[in-house]
Amino acid sequence: MTLYNQLFDERFYPATNTLFLKKQDQTIFIGFKVDAQTQIILDCKWKTTDTDETKKRLSLFSEEVIGHLFQTAREMTLEQFREFSL
């Protein structure tokens, strides 16, 4: 499977909103570019130290959330990756 929107160094991605999730020694970074007026997600990138299965889920998620409100995407993130904590 091709992984979409994967970051190798999140420091160079100009995200306007971010989420950082952690489970023991595994982490997920999700960066969003969000329109300031509408709060609609324009772009989404991610990075993880977790398994290939999580990478596949993040790849699909990062495509799905574009065009959604940031608050909706945040709730979707917490639901899909509930085994992680903020």
Q: Coil, strand, or helix at residue 29?
A: strand
pTM assigned to the model: 0.90
Q: How much is the CA Rg of the chain, to the nearest whole Å?
A: 12
Dump pLDDT digits (tens) for 2-50: 899 999 999 999 999 999 999 888 899 999 999 999 999 999 999 999 8
Assigned CATH class of 10-80: alpha beta
Q: Which amino acid is at 48?
A: T
- Report yes or no: 29 and 56 within 8 Å, Cβ to Cβ: no
